[in-house]
Chains A and B, each alone.
Chain A
């Protein structure tokens, strides 16, 4: 890190040493990428989306490439929250980086239970996934109307002893309304965007490419949508916003800060470039040095319109 540059951010009680986080579902539980770079470099890791019980996930193929993007339909394959606590936290705790647990449920009770269990686990924050497009029951349906969001968030808030991040879906008419509902119900911050519902078809075989027919779009293709939504949400709420969607480098990250994000998450870009998280931090630092910005927080919402 350069001498006088301050990368620290506070996301509704979650202190991060820098604003770059690995996005949920793209980084497993960190083990694989720990072979490529020092996980201590990351501001935080949002782990693969967890559910109360293990989930097998959707049938393959689960990924399709589309112009400047990918569709995925993993469907929350995960070992369940208990296996995570037992097997993965001890590994992740060896690193000086924040652990953000991405949690999903198919009923409000499941969300409550997850938050209760995770509040007693050695993690730094809980990211409530109200926006997974790839599972039939729950999840997205919880995130798609302000009153459902208000209901889930206010009910889990009673159990939350850790900063609560609510992850928002872009598959809604007015994302700012949803964000406001989350804030009113007690969210400490919001993260956005999750993937945009889409599909890919093979004209030759007349079949969908994904085993699940539809999937979620991510990668550079969704960046303009993500920027617009971060911009709208950050104007509508006073809690911090974590921005994501198509970030592939430090300049992209700076654009999200200017649009109103306090931190960023990066997922898909890591598939092509396993060093993307570290390189992004370096480019943010270089941008700050060049533009005489001392604290990254000075960039937040700095868009000139």
Chain B
């Protein structure tokens, strides 16, 4: 059921990215890392569809959850105007989140751009004793949530495309170097498609299971309209699968990247 929830905090993290803390007993209790919510932006300017946004972190005691949103177009622009005290129409939590295997001792999460958000709660919830995060940003001014991530993992590696902060280069290059030093039990990717495609290739090369969180334009958000599909393996054949319902998180060996 879509419900109006109260925003208890709204703040900008940098010039175009903001965080909303929302009061919801239901979502904070039910949400698993990697799941998303589907948000109505309001009827302004003929914006009809909801926007899919990952749950970034939850506070199960306070009954709140955080979402972090980058302004991209009309809908996210409208959402950026919400303030503490406003009500927001949210459907969720939706979809399949990341798999947490308690026997895994060492995990690495790899995120790029807006793909880093769902990885924060994953780090919080995962019981592994050795957790590493590799996060990629365009440049120094895009780097956000650094402290939040540092708190939840043993080691945080940051890279920027232009080298203005952390290492220069791709997160997948850093990942390879790390895996050469020490293997991992599982890898989790969320970010641009080319990054995830490379990532799954690396996971296969090192023979490590991995999961990827897919992005696709969506309609209903619950599995009924078949607009949000990605290509997945189906035995010897393939099929189009709803990202909103069967994903957004898929096993890395299930998705067919083209």
Contacts and interface: CB of A to CB of B under 8 A. Distances in A.
Interface of A: 25-28, 31-33, 35-36, 48, 56-57, 59-65, 67-70, 72, 74, 77, 219-221, 268, 270-275
Interface string B11-48: 00000000000000000000000000000100001111
B239 interface: yes
Interface of B: 1-2, 40, 45-50, 91, 216-231, 238-240, 245
**Residue in A31, A57, A60, A77 with the greatest tally of chain B CB atoms within 10 Å:** A60
Contacts of A48: 226
B178 to A, nearest CB: 32
Q: Identify whether the interface residues of A are mostly helix, strand, loop, or mixed.
A: loop
B226 A74 contact: yes
B181 to A, nearest CB: 38
Given A65-B47, A219-B48, A271 B225 contact: yes
Contacts of B49: 63, 65, 70, 271-272
A69 B47 CA distance: 8
A77 B225 CA distance: 10
B234 to A, nearest CB: 10
A32 B225 CA distance: 10
Contacts of A32: 220, 222-224, 245
A62 B224 contact: no
What 3 pairs between A and B have smallest CB-CB spacing? A28-B224, A68-B46, A63-B227
Contacts of B245: 32
B201 to A, nearest CB: 21
B92 to A, nearest CB: 12
A142 to B, nearest CB: 22
A271 B48 contact: yes
7 contacts: A35-B222, A62-B217, A63-B219, A72-B225, A271-B48, A273-B2, A274-B1
**Residue in B46, B216, B227, B245 with the greatest tally of chain A CB atoms within 10 Å:** B227
Given A26-B220, A32-B223, A63-B228, A220 B48 contact: yes
B229 A62 contact: yes
Contacts of A67: 45-46
B157 to A, nearest CB: 31
A71 to B, nearest CB: 10
B48 to A, nearest CB: 6
Contacts of A28: 223-226
Contact of B225 (A25, A31, A65, A275): A25
Contact of B220 (A62, A68, A270): A270
A68 B74 CA distance: 13
Contact of B229 (A57, A270, A273): A57
A274 B48 contact: no
Given A60-B240, A63-B219, A272 B48 contact: yes
B225 A61 contact: no
A60 B230 contact: yes
A25 B219 CA distance: 11
Contact of A63 (B91, B218, B224): B218
Nearest to A219: B48
A212 B127 CA distance: 44
Given A68-B48, A274-B222, A56 B239 contact: yes
Given A28-B225, A275-B1, 18 more contacts: A28-B224, A32-B220, A32-B224, A32-B245, A36-B1, A57-B226, A57-B240, A60-B217, A62-B217, A64-B217, A68-B48, A72-B227, A74-B225, A77-B229, A220-B48, A273-B2, A274-B1, A274-B222
B226 A62 contact: yes
Contact of B240 (A69, A77, A220): A77
Contacts of B223: 28, 31-32
A26 B245 CA distance: 15
Contacts of B240: 56-57, 60, 77
Contacts of A31: 223
